[in-house]
Amino acid sequence: MKRVQLAGDLQFSQIIHGLWRLSEWNMTSEELVTFIEDCIELGITTFDHADIYGDYSCEKIFGEALALKPELREKMQIVTKCGIKLCSSKFPELRIGHYDTSTEHILHSVENSLKNLQINYIDLLLIHRLDPFMDPKEVANAFNQLHKEGKVHHFGVSNFLPSQFRMLQAHLDMPLVTNQIEVSPMQLEHFEKGTIDLMLEKGISPMIWSPLAGGEIFTSQKEDAVRVRAMLEEIATEVGATSIDQVMYAWLLAHPAKMMPIVGSGKIERVKTAVEATNISISREQWFRIYVAAMGHPVP
């Protein structure tokens, strides 16, 4: 599989595996080890976490599997996130879900992630959401300390709009190496708000969450979903894809921003489907037929 260079010493597999539903899969640690090995075998070496996934449980489940086979660590890149405080039975004192990007919370969250994942460094740490109460100096302090201590090698953001990305970057000594954003034929927001333009401007590859639009595309009877699905099926036939999810992956993979879609399935067959999409090339015209179906009107 093609690999994407995010920094001098950081390469991701272009397809990334996301573990936000890991806690629902009911795998034993042994089964999870096998699943991880199968992913790596397929060329997927990058695994995407967040402190909050599975009500703060997914990192721990992953860490327990990793502990059974610690030599896997060096074969993978681990991404995790911090900055959201979720309402949870684990934090009954919390009165509202909110964001926390204070130095203290970032440091605390990373300690937890390292402990839960049973690793001694994180390849890439992302600020999960733009915090309207963010003090960029606090974030910079945390990043500097984590980098100096070797606990986090690289930093990035998620769901940041351009003004937010520029704001945080202006206060950092190191470059933000990615922005994890939602893009799919059902979600064109970041084409419209300049986020993808900024990524191209700076030569930064975005990680893409919900590349299949949360699955809604497969069954929804809403007008736009029906329209996009019909086009995806048409293109699937043309390019010999086995399913429309391959076309959605291929649509992202074809984009010049070097988008890295995150596959969130715990079924290795679904993961294979995504990996096979890296061999499907869709033409510029096909890309636009999907884009136009997604917009619901021709390009001007």
108 sits near a second copy (criterion: CB under 8 A): no
Distances (CA, A) of 127 to 55, 187, 234: 18, 21, 38
239 sits near a second copy (criterion: CB under 8 A): no
Task: Classify the C-alpha dihedral 37-42-43-49 as positive or negative.
Answer: negative
Q: Active-site residue numbers?
A: 53
C-alpha angle with apex 84: 80 to 89, nearest 5 degrees? 105
Cβ contacts of 56 within 8 Å, gap of 6 or more? 86, 88, 90
Q: What is the CA radius of gyration of the chain?
A: 19
197 sits near a second copy (criterion: CB under 8 A): yes
- Binders in 129-148 for a second copy, by CB under 8 A: 129, 132-138
| DSSP secondary structure of 141-210 | HHHHHHHHTTSEEEEEEES--HHHHHHHHHT-SS-EEEEEEE-BTTB-HHHHSSHHHHHHHHT-PPEEE-
Q: Which residue's CB is nearer to a second copy, number 71 or number 285?
A: 285
Answer for which of 1, 68, 94, 226 binds a second copy (CB under 8 A) is 94
Q: How far apart are the C-alpha atoms of 9 and 258, rounded to whole Å?
A: 18
Q: Which residue's CB is nearer to a second copy, number 99 or number 249?
A: 99
Total of residues contacting a second copy (CB under 8 A): 47
Please choose, out of 14-22, 90-98, 240-248, 273-281, the segment that lies near a second copy by the rule CB under 8 A.
90-98
291 sits near a second copy (criterion: CB under 8 A): yes
CB count within 10 Å of CB 254 equals: 16
- For 87, which DSSP code? -
Answer for which of 14, 45, 102, 116 binds a second copy (CB under 8 A) is 102
Closest distance between a second copy and the C-beta of residue 51, in Å?
16
Answer for which of 10, 67, 72, 200 binds a second copy (CB under 8 A) is 200
Closest distance between a second copy and the C-beta of residue 164, in Å?
5
Q: Which residue's CB is nearer to a second copy, number 158 or number 273?
A: 158
- Binders in 163-192 for a second copy, by CB under 8 A: 163-164, 166-167, 170-171, 191
Please choose, out of 61-69, 109-117, 118-126, 127-135, the segment that lies near a second copy by the rule CB under 8 A.
127-135
Q: Exposed/middle/buried for 51, CB within 10 Å: 0-12, 13-18, 19+?
A: buried
Q: How far apart are the C-alpha atoms of 98 and 105, rounded to whole Å?
A: 12
Closest distance between a second copy and the C-beta of residue 166, in Å?
6
Answer for which of 73, 108, 255, 272 binds a second copy (CB under 8 A) is 255
Helix-helix angle 244-253:284-295, to 10 degrees = 110
- In the block, tokens 């597999």 appear at 13
Chain residues in the site for a second copy (CB under 8 A): 85, 94-100, 102, 129, 132-138, 159, 161-164, 166-167, 170-171, 191, 194, 196-198, 200-202, 254-256, 284-285, 287-289, 291-292, 298-300
